[in-house]
Amino acid sequence: MNKRNMLKGLLGLTLAMGAGMAHAAYPERPITMIVPWGAGGGTDATARMIATLLEKELDNPVNVVNRTGGNGVVGHMAIAKAKPDGYTLGMLTVEIATMKHLGLTTITPADYTPLALMNEDPAGVTVSATSEYKDMKSLMEAIKANPGKLKASGTGQGGIWHIAIAGLVNKAGLPPNSVPFVPSNGSAPAMLELVAGGIDIVPTSLPEARSMIDAGKAKPLAIMSKERSPMYPDVPTLKETTGNEWTVGVWRGIAGPKGLPDDVTAKLEAALKKVNESKEFRDFMSKRGFGVAYANSKDYGEYMAKSTADFGEVLKAIGMAK
């Protein structure tokens, strides 16, 4: 090797080492975390707590920005379209698994680099405290015997709680419209309507039904999860009561745009795992009645893919898939 080639080689090695050192220094500047929903809500509060704890783990500012609009489409799109350098992350919510099916956008969970699942609240099956149905088995027998008689509510048409009840009856081998769904502006007004006798079932998460349950005005018959809820350990799972293996719920996780560098992904994944396991995060979630869940990058990606497939099947069955 002549002197000139040797100098070129040394220069190339120096540049490569410099680039590697610069990249290894991630993060070198503030990170933006996009939240697709408004300030003050549960998703926003959860994201801000995660951002605060993530700052400590990364020793770097993490700034939360709310990008609302289009039923969550605007914010989810902003996360997907960001530069994949690790400086724009976002909180994905369960709606990303339904948006394409509903014709709202072309993006799907495949358009992101999943980092960590942080929260999951399975759907429950809640009825009025005065309901004649004392367990899930008797409720399912009534639905089968009188299709169309019992009504449910808890969200808008095609929303997560509509999918929850439609998927439940579909998995039981019954027409998914056996329980007519009355649209509402959320679980809170639906629970009021349940207590008033206007509807028969609210398939919302137990944390959202908590105030009425604890007040003795409503009773949960089952939870659409593989395991019982720590909040209500006496409430059985669907499988325990009826053999139905349908599971569904709301979830929140952190992701970046598709194509994040592997080392950046690994660093963020490790930091988020520590955040998830921290006492501060778990105490925060517990006080608000939110469930803590965790899945790493690979498992979270698979989890979202399964949610997307399951929800698409139900939305197609109820005639809402585009």
CB contact set of 75 (below 8 Å; sequence gap of 6+): 34, 35, 36, 37, 66, 67, 68, 69, 90
Q: What is the pLDDT of residue 90?
A: 98
Q: What is the pLDDT of residue 2?
A: 52
CB contact set of 171 (below 8 Å; sequence gap of 6+): 244, 245, 246
- Report the alpha-carbon distance of residue 284 to residue 45 in Å, rounded: 10
Joined together, the tokens standing for residue 236 give 């059985």
What Å distances lie between residue 115 and 34, 90, 224, CA to CA? 14, 10, 25
Amino acid identity, position 223: I
Joined together, the tokens standing for residue 285 give 């979630």
Amino acid identity, position 102: L
Please, what is the Cα angle at 93 between 71 and 122, to 5 degrees? 115
Place of tokens 């745009």: 257
Helix H or strand E segment including 161: helix 160-171
Q: What is the pLDDT of residue 4?
A: 53
276 with 270: CB under 8 angstroms? no
The pTM for the full model equals 0.84
24 with 263: CB under 8 angstroms? yes
Per-residue pLDDT of the chain (322 residues; tens, 9 = 90+): 454 554 444 445 444 444 444 445 899 999 999 999 999 888 999 999 999 999 999 999 999 999 999 989 999 999 999 999 999 999 999 999 999 999 999 999 999 999 999 999 999 999 999 999 999 999 999 999 999 999 999 988 899 999 999 999 999 999 989 999 999 988 899 999 999 999 999 999 998 899 999 999 999 999 999 999 988 999 999 999 999 999 999 999 999 999 999 999 999 999 999 999 999 999 999 988 899 999 999 999 999 999 999 999 999 999 999 8
